[in-house]
Structures are given as structure tokens and as C-alpha cells.
Amino acid sequence: MGRKLLLEHINVPGINTLKVYREKGGYKALEKAIKTMSSDDLVEEVKKSGLRGRGGAGFPTGMKWSFLAKPEGVARYLVCNADESEPGTFKDRYLMTYIPHALIEGMIVSSFALGANTSYIYVRGEMMPQIRILEKAIAEAKEAGFLGKNILGSGYDLELYVQPGGGAYICGEETALLESLEGKRGNPRIKPPFPAIAGLYGCPTVVNNVESIAAIVPIINMGGDEYAKIGVGRSTGTKLISASGNINKPGVYEIELGLSVEDFIYSDDYCGGIANGKRLKAVVAGGSSVPILPANLILNLANGEKRLMSYESLSEGGFITGTMLGSGGFVVLDEDQSVVRNTWNFARFYSHESCGQCSPCREGTGWMEKVLHRLVNGKGKMSDMDLLVDVAKKIEGNTICPLGDAAAWPVASAIRHFRDEFEWYVNNPELSQKQNYGLAHYADPLPVLETVE
């Protein structure tokens, strides 16, 4: 088992209370930061840690912080993205439920580093139980003098509020989130300007994921350099992986980046193998938005080496043979699952969740859903696969926000890797309604590439 930085004390009874959290070393990072470090020191530590945003895009957090504009006399904001709506992802809910003070402490340290005096945690509205938990944790922190006026006698003031969303996947996109926090529809904004220049109420704003903010606590406690020693290459530290689908032990796991995908799926410390003695068919490794890979490509790189759970290794091979770490939503499909049906389901999701601002996304997601729906119901045509690839291409890169890409990639990758399963649906309109295509060749060893002299 690898090192745990976020979930080390998750099984300690009462760790959701301030008292027990403190007994386990909680709020030490806050004291260290406020009493011994300047804002610049803190940003520097985070830069050194190599922490990359845990919300999906993997943008270096320290760099994002250093972009924050600091005009005189203008408020700055830190907004935590707890919208967690990417299908396959449920780590933020877990963290907020069981160890809420990790997020609260991270919010206070990060707000101090950024010079924000009011910060918000935007939680998806469906997580009302987590909102109540956070409100309670905030009240406890305030009582202990960690929030409010003159925190720990430093002269620094901070108010922290929890805001519920209204049920819209798009509000996870940071500018849609800011619109929503302003009480509007969640329509993403055209960038630039980026939130670091003009965010909430037009003021400089940093938006960070729950896990990114919680990771600030161990980074400050141990120092950025030490944190950067964990993991592999530019994938530093630990990452929460939400594992779901046809595995023996679904749940949230903290891994050291660099663990092999094979170990993650088959080790009893993690997923514990495929459920019911079935065989692995495919994996969506980083939430519904990333390309789906067949068993052989998720376990191994095209050169035969083992694929690792890291930003670089998962994306090795680009979109031809690779995928992405994304939000760490690891969805496992066994041999009885239909990739065609799963692809339709995701397409339906994106069509439902498109905000409708840009025509390629609004219309394209609708068309992909329709075409996939007829395919999955045995009414598709051979030309549908090319049609889908064509629609996906026309969406990709042509929209205001990345939801368009997120809708296009799963479809394009499913057809790239599982085309014969789609064709089987077309050729077997009746059989495909009663039976699954099965594992086919998707777990076969990869062909060994020969180098030509």
C-alpha cells in the first residue's frame, strides 16, 4: 500500500469533528502558514510541490495561483469547486463526508495565500448532506478562532460560505460555476479574460477542486519538495481515484501516482479484481469525458510496457492508444457489458447537460445521441459510425467550453477501439437485442511492434 496524505486518518472514529481532527495533527498547516509564512512563501511551496489540479484538467496549482491579479483595493476570491458531476467521480463527496476539516483547513490556508477575505465552497445541490457537514465544520472552525476576524491573532480576516448548486453538470466548468454563484444560469463565459483576472463579480478569482485544496494541507506540513518526491515524474503526490463498475471493491482509493493500472485493478488493496469472476473488457480511466480503452491498451502501452496511473502514462499514445487521468473516475466494464450501450448512455448525458450556447455542442450532442440510440436498438446503419466520427470532429475544438470535447472524445474513442462491436449491432439487429458482443479480442495481447532496420 502506498503512502496516504489525504485519507490517512479516514477510519479514525470522530475524525469528522474538529477535536479529533486536531488530535491527529489537524490545523497544524494553518498555524504554520499564518504564523511563519508569507503569501509568497506559500505560493512558492505549492509551486515546488508540483501539485496539478485534481478537478480534471491537471493544470499546475502553484502556477494558477501566481497568475492571480492583485490590483489595489479590489477584492480577490477563492472558490472551491465541489460540483463533482463528472460521471464516475465521487472522491470529493467522500472527502467532504468523512474528513470535512481537511477541506476547511485547506480553504483557510489557500485563502490566506491568495489574500482572499471571503471564500466560497460551491457544492452541487444534490449533496445537501455534505453541505450540512461542511456548515457544521465551518461553525467549529470559527468557534476555535480559525475563521472570522483576526485569525490566530494575525490580523487576517476570512469568512467562508457554502453555496449549493441547482443540478447542472456544466456548473463544474469554472466560469459556469462563477455565473451560477452569481445567481445566473450556468452558461460558461468566453475566455479570456480568465478568472484569475476577472472572475466572481469581475474580481480576480481562483477556482480549485476540493481535492486540490485539501492537498495544500500536507504540502504545507511536509514542504513542497518532500511532496514532490512522492509519485512519478511530473505526476507528483497522491491522487484520489473513484473506482466503480464491475469490480469486487468499488470505492475511493488514495494512490501514489505511478502505481501500475494492473495492480490498481487486480490488487486486493484496491479494486480487488473483476467482480463475479468475469474478465476485464474496457476501462474509462478518468471520468466519462476521457477516451475509453480496451483491456489490452489500458493495462499496457503500445510498446508492451505496463501502463501506470499517472498523468503522463495514461495519456501515452495520445488519442490513438492513450487516454487521460482526468478527474480520476475509474469506471471498469466487464465482458458482459456493451460498449455501444455505454457510449449511448454517455452521449445522452452530454446532450442533456449541454448548456445550449454553441450550436456545434447543442446540435452535435443531440445528433450523436440520436444516432447512437438507433444503433443500440438494432436500427443503425453501417454508415452511422463514420457519421458519428464526423459529428464528433465537428464539435471538437469548436465550442466555448470543453464540454463539447468531453462529449466528442468518448464517442470517437469507442468507435476507434470497438468498431467491430458497433458493426455487430448493425449486422445483427435482433441478436444484439438479446445478447452481448462479449469480450471478443479486446483483451488479446497487443501485437509486438517490429522495428524496421
Partner 1 sequence: MLSVTETREIIFSADLLNKMGEVVSHFPDGKQKSALLPILHDVQAEFGWVSPEAMDKVADFLEIEPIEVYEVATFYSMFFLRPQGKFVLEVCRTGPCCLVGAEKIISYIGEKLGVKEGQVTADGLFSYRGVECLAACGYAPVLQIGPEYTFYENLTTESVDQLIEELKNKN
Ligand X SMILES: Cc1cc2nc3c(=O)[nH]c(=O)nc-3n(C[C@H](O)[C@H](O)[C@H](O)COP(=O)(O)O)c2cc1C
Residue 293 makes contact with ligand SF4 by CB under 6 A: no
Q: What's phi and psi for 19, nearest 5 deg?
A: -60, -55
**Strands 235-236, 238-245: pairing kind:** unpaired
How many chain residues bind ligand SF4 (CB under 6 A)? 14
How wide is the angle at C-alpha 304 spanned by C-alphas 237 and 311, nearest 5°? 25
Contact map string, positions 240 to 269, toward partner 1, x by CB under 8 A: --xxxxx---xxx-----------------
DSSP string covering 325-365, please? -TT-EEEEEETTS-HHHHHHHHHHHHHHH--S-SHHHHHHH
| Piece in contact with ligand X (CB under 6 A), picked from 17-25, 109-117, 169-177, 435-443 | 169-177
Residue 354 binding result from ligand X, partner 1, ligand SF4, none, given CB thresholds of 5 to 8 Å by partner type: ligand SF4
**Joined grid coordinates for residue 128:** 445537501
Q: Which is nearer to ligand SF4, 48 or 362 (CB)?
A: 362
117 Rama class: left (phi>0) / alpha (psi -120 to 50) / beta: alpha
Number of Cβ atoms within 10 Å of the Cβ of 48: 17
Residue 52 makes CB contacts below 8 A (sequence gap 6+) with: 58, 59, 60, 61, 234, 235, 236, 311
In whole angstroms, give the CA distance from residue 262 to residue 330: 13
| Near ligand SF4 by CB under 6 A: residue from 110, 205, 310, 357 | 357
Q: Which is nearer to ligand SF4, 334 or 353 (CB)?
A: 353
> What part of residues 396-435 is at the interface with ligand SF4 (CB under 6 A)?
399-401, 403-404
| Piece in contact with ligand SF4 (CB under 6 A), picked from 18-26, 160-168, 312-320, 393-401 | 393-401
Q: Do 403 and 440 form a contact (C-beta atoms < 8 A)?
A: no
Contact map string, positions 83 to 112, toward ligand SF4, x by CB under 6 A: ------------------------------
How many chain residues bind ligand X (CB under 6 A)? 24
How many chain residues bind partner 1 (CB under 8 A)? 58
Residue 75 binding result from ligand SF4, ligand X, partner 1, none, given CB thresholds of 5 to 8 Å by partner type: partner 1
DSSP string covering 93-127, please? HHHHHH-HHHHHHHHHHHHHHHT-SEEEEEE-TT-
Residue 83 makes contact with ligand X by CB under 6 A: yes
Residue 90 makes contact with partner 1 by CB under 8 A: yes
Residue 202 binding result from partner 1, ligand SF4, ligand X, none, given CB thresholds of 5 to 8 Å by partner type: none
Q: Do 411 and 284 form a contact (C-beta atoms < 8 A)?
A: no
Spatial CA neighbour of 103 closest among 21, 170, 43, 40: 21
Spatial CA neighbour of 388 closest among 357, 409, 362: 409
Q: Do 151 and 108 form a contact (C-beta atoms < 8 A)?
A: yes
| Near ligand X by CB under 6 A: residue from 10, 12, 57, 69 | 57
Q: How far is the CB of 384 from ligand SF4 (least distance, A)?
A: 23
DSSP 8-state assignment for residue 190: P
| Near partner 1 by CB under 8 A: residue from 46, 78, 168, 309 | 168
> What part of residues 211-230 is at the interface with ligand SF4 (CB under 6 A)?
none
Number of Cβ atoms within 10 Å of the Cβ of 52: 25
Q: How far is the CB of 355 from ligand SF4 (least distance, A)?
A: 3
Q: Would you tell me which residues interact with partner 1 (CB under 8 A)?
A: 75, 84-90, 92-93, 118, 120, 124-129, 132, 159, 161, 163-169, 180-186, 201, 242-246, 250-252, 284, 288, 329, 331-333, 337, 341-342, 345-346, 349, 352-353
Q: Would you tell me which residues interact with ligand X (CB under 6 A)?
A: 53-57, 59, 61, 81, 83-86, 170, 172-174, 207-209, 212, 401-403, 406
